Amino acid sequence: MFSALWQSILEWLQTLFFQQEMELTILGLQNAGKTTLVNLISTGDFTDDRIPTVGFNMRRVQKGGVTLKMWDLGGQARFRTMWERYCRGVSAVVFVIDAADEDRFETARVELQDILSRRALDGIPVLVLANKSDLPGAIKDVDEMVDVFGLKDIHNHEVSVYSISAKNSTNIDVTLQWLIDHGSKKASSSTAAAVVSAPDPPSTSTIPPKPSS
């Protein structure tokens, strides 16, 4: 009896203080740097040379009054069919691309378009991250990314693109800010608001500042 009561009081307190809890799903082909990014966000350290994620990783992080729950999914082909199951009802989907791996851009585009065309994901804001901008030959131009990945053709999502480097921590701060903003928006207003704002052409409103380096 008492423990149940105590539990409910605790939960109520929790909702007061940690109102802003957001769920993120991080997708992308294998070796795009998803797990590295998640580790960077949660620990602040860059760790290289990760073994491939078999299945998924789950991370909880407190950032600026928002609790981030990150589902970091494996990028190998056998896991891509399962992505959708972890995208339903999340606050945002982050799609990580290896900007230096031009050969797999096409595959990444197909996978991105495919997952975003699912009805279950309608209205969920999407953040596309072109990772590894520190590598030579990496695409850093955001407009080019929008063209290559056909981001203008996506209509039922709010799509933003950033060029980042997890290794050099380039643009990680803006990424975090984007995430926190979308988390709070979702928590404070309703999901409907996100849907309404979706049809905006993404390139204009969401072009990030040019990388400083």
- Per the annotation, binding residues for Mg(2+) are 35, 53
* For other proteins, the closer CB: 3 or 204: 3
Closest CA to 97 of 78, 81, 83, 110: 110
Q: Verify binding: residue 15, other proteins, rule CB under 8 A.
A: yes
Closest CA to 83 of 91, 73, 93, 92: 73
Please state the closest distance from residue 79 (CB atom) to other proteins, in A. Answer: 7
Helix (H) or strand (E) run with residue 17 in it: helix 2-17
Q: Verify binding: residue 79, other proteins, rule CB under 8 A.
A: yes
* For other proteins, the closer CB: 21 or 181: 21
Q: Verify binding: residue 21, other proteins, rule CB under 8 A.
A: yes
Q: Verify binding: residue 53, other proteins, rule CB under 8 A.
A: yes
Applying CB under 8 A, which part among 56-64, 109-117, 168-176, 197-205 lies near other proteins? 56-64
102-105 contacts at long range (C-beta below 8 A, 24 or more positions apart): 102/137, 102/139, 104/29, 105/148, 105/149
Q: Verify binding: residue 74, other proteins, rule CB under 8 A.
A: yes
Please state the closest distance from residue 203 (CB atom) to other proteins, in A. Answer: 31
- The side-by-side arrangement of strands in the sheet containing 126-131 is 56-63, 66-73, 21-27, 92-98, 126-131, 159-163
Contact 70, 24 (CB under 8 A): yes
Q: Verify binding: residue 88, other proteins, rule CB under 8 A.
A: yes
Q: Verify binding: residue 119, other proteins, rule CB under 8 A.
A: no
Position among 64, 89, 199, 201 found at the interface with other proteins (CB under 8 A): 89
Tokens of 167: 């290794």
Residues 6+ apart with CB under 8 A from 172: 40, 41, 164, 166
Position among 13, 60, 65, 143 found at the interface with other proteins (CB under 8 A): 60
Q: Residues interacting with other proteins, by CB under 8 A?
A: 4, 7, 11, 14-15, 21, 23, 51, 53-58, 60, 69, 74, 78-79, 81-82, 85, 88-89
